Amino acid sequence: MITVTTKKSVTDAWSSQGAAREVLDLADEREEIRRRIRDIEHCINTSPERHVTLNESDIQDMPPPEEHRSELFRHPVSALTSSRPLMRRQAAAQLTQRRKHMLVFIISALLFSVFIGWVSRSL
Q: Cα angle vertex 17, ends 15, 22, to 5°? A: 90
1-54 per-position pLDDT tens digit: 455 555 555 556 567 788 888 999 999 999 999 999 999 888 877 776 666 666
List the one residue out of 76, 65, 120, 122 whose CA is nearest residue 98: 76
Confirm if 84 and 67 have CB atoms less than 8 A apart: no
Least confident of 55-59, 68-72, 102-106, 111-115: 68-72
pTM for the whole thing?
A: 0.32
Residues 86-106 have a mean pLDDT of 91
69-87 per-position pLDDT tens digit: 655 666 666 655 556 677 8
The helix (H) or strand (E) run that includes residue 102 is: helix 88-122
